[in-house]
Amino acid sequence: MTIVFREVPALVCENCGEAFHDEAVTAALLKQAEQAAVAA
């Protein structure tokens, strides 16, 4: 199964430019992914 999330808010490291997500965003993405997997 592949799940694509669009327009996810991200933070960007000022030193290296890497994008990452805070804990709340990650938790919300995981919850949505679990719901999609159950529905499939």
Predicted confidence (pLDDT) per residue in 4-36, tens digit: 999 999 999 999 999 999 999 999 999 999 999
Q: With contact defined as beta carbons under 8 Å apart, do 10 and 28 qualify?
A: no
- pTM more than 0.75: no
H or E segment and range at residue 20:
strand 19-20
Would you say residue 40 has pLDDT above 90? no
Please count the structural domains in the chain: 1
What pLDDT shows up at residue 1?
A: 87
Q: 3: domain range? A: 1-40
What pLDDT shows up at residue 11?
A: 95
Higher pLDDT, 26 or 40: 26
Q: With contact defined as beta carbons under 8 Å apart, do 20 and 10 qualify?
A: yes
- Cα separation, 40 vs 35, in Å, equals 9
